[in-house]
Chain A
């Protein structure tokens, strides 16, 4: 079971982020513990994707602190030192995107092996073996040599998950990974994520699918207008929310 005394894997302190005059994150405090499956939910424009992307600094922040595994992610460093610092951190933070962002000029296998080989983690042969194992895990052994253009959306997203897993990250970030999929393809991606959750991967999932969040997450964070409104276990936040704002969101969503 979780050791609650241990330092959380991710700790966010009073995080603020503005795009020009528009403040999209208005002081976020959040923790992600090892093995936790945290689902970030909330209406469009609530800042949940932005928050997720600050964790690996695809978005920089205006003020506040992000700690990952004992390191200050958004440390104020000169450009070159910051790049090195982020490269090292990002190896341990896997990310899966809404629009897959598979590399279209590489096969599924090459997509998965690229980073481990470039970064010298594996030899080509090791990386290949590892990639084949990961592709088997996401159910795509027979698609290793396919280019992304010949894969369905669900298959692409599963390759993208395998690509992130190839770095053996300590946490996986999922940014609305099923939003761009045809409804009948959502299930296969969700199953892959559930499988990861069962293996105790630490996961932060931005999602619009409340049912999936209820089934999979161990912790729900509800955001609105750049703030965390309410958080807690799924049973509480999704079934007996304390805040009126949460209730309004849930009603609206279930009414759709």
Chain B
């Protein structure tokens, strides 16, 4: 077997394009999955059954089925129902929901670990349940669960490769394109893997900074 990595630089533009879309796809999905996760967590802990049950159902579905199938259903399935999403949007929706339900469980545990005195102190000042959660309880819960959520974000970045299956030209699909032009699978799969690894190194550094900031203010 002779590996020849000199073919890789010839496809730099294609790979960088892929990196760019992987970053955009992942960052958007991270933001949505965290915001949705926090909302789901608060709803799961609320006393409104009418809100709690749909969220509970969403968690079961998105935790109990493979992400790949979720992508197919959101992209191809909804199209059959007349909802034509472009592949990128479908990818963001599926990734966001899939990770939101995991984030929700982590955040819920974080919220339950906050001393009830915090909530009571906020309510004793006359602020509403939602204000007390949003300003007092959830921020502290998030600070406590930052490491766990960080791990989910790293997983999300890697799992975003599955979105190639519905034709989004992200890093994995652009590597496959490069392979179909050069017939060099090993080189380009390794190059793509190295690029994912590099992206995650950057992400880990960012998470470390966030964790340190969260720890500083207490």
Contacts and interface: CB of A to CB of B under 8 A. Distances in A.
A149 B129 contact: no
Interface stretch (B68-76, B115-123, B162-170): B115-123
B217 interface: yes
Contact of A163 (B117, B125, B217): B125
A87 B140 contact: no
A158 interface: no
B121 A101 contact: yes
Interface stretch (B59-67, B85-93, B131-139, B201-209): B131-139
Given A104-B217, A105-B217, A118-B135, A91 B126 contact: yes
B125 A115 contact: yes
Contacts of B123: 58, 86, 90
B218 A104 contact: yes
Interface residues of A, number: 31
B124 A119 contact: no
Contacts of B117: 97, 99, 101
Contacts of A149: 218
Contacts of A99: 115, 117
Interface residues of B, number: 22
Interface string A113-124: 011001100000
A94 B126 CA distance: 9
Contacts, number: 71
B178 interface: no
A88 interface: yes
A103 B121 contact: yes
A90 B125 contact: yes
A163 B123 CA distance: 13
B47 interface: yes
A80 to B, nearest CB: 10
Contacts of A91: 125-126
A121 B201 CA distance: 46
Residue of A102, A105, A119, A164 with most partner-chain B CB within 10 A:
A105
Contact of B218 (A79, A94, A105): A105
Given A88-B126, A105-B143, 15 more contacts: A58-B120, A90-B125, A97-B117, A97-B121, A99-B115, A102-B121, A103-B140, A104-B140, A104-B217, A105-B217, A105-B218, A114-B122, A115-B125, A147-B218, A163-B125
Interface of A: 56, 58, 79, 83, 86-95, 97, 99, 101-105, 114-115, 118-119, 147, 149, 160, 163-164, 167
Interface of B: 47, 115, 117-118, 120-129, 131, 135-136, 139-140, 143, 217-218
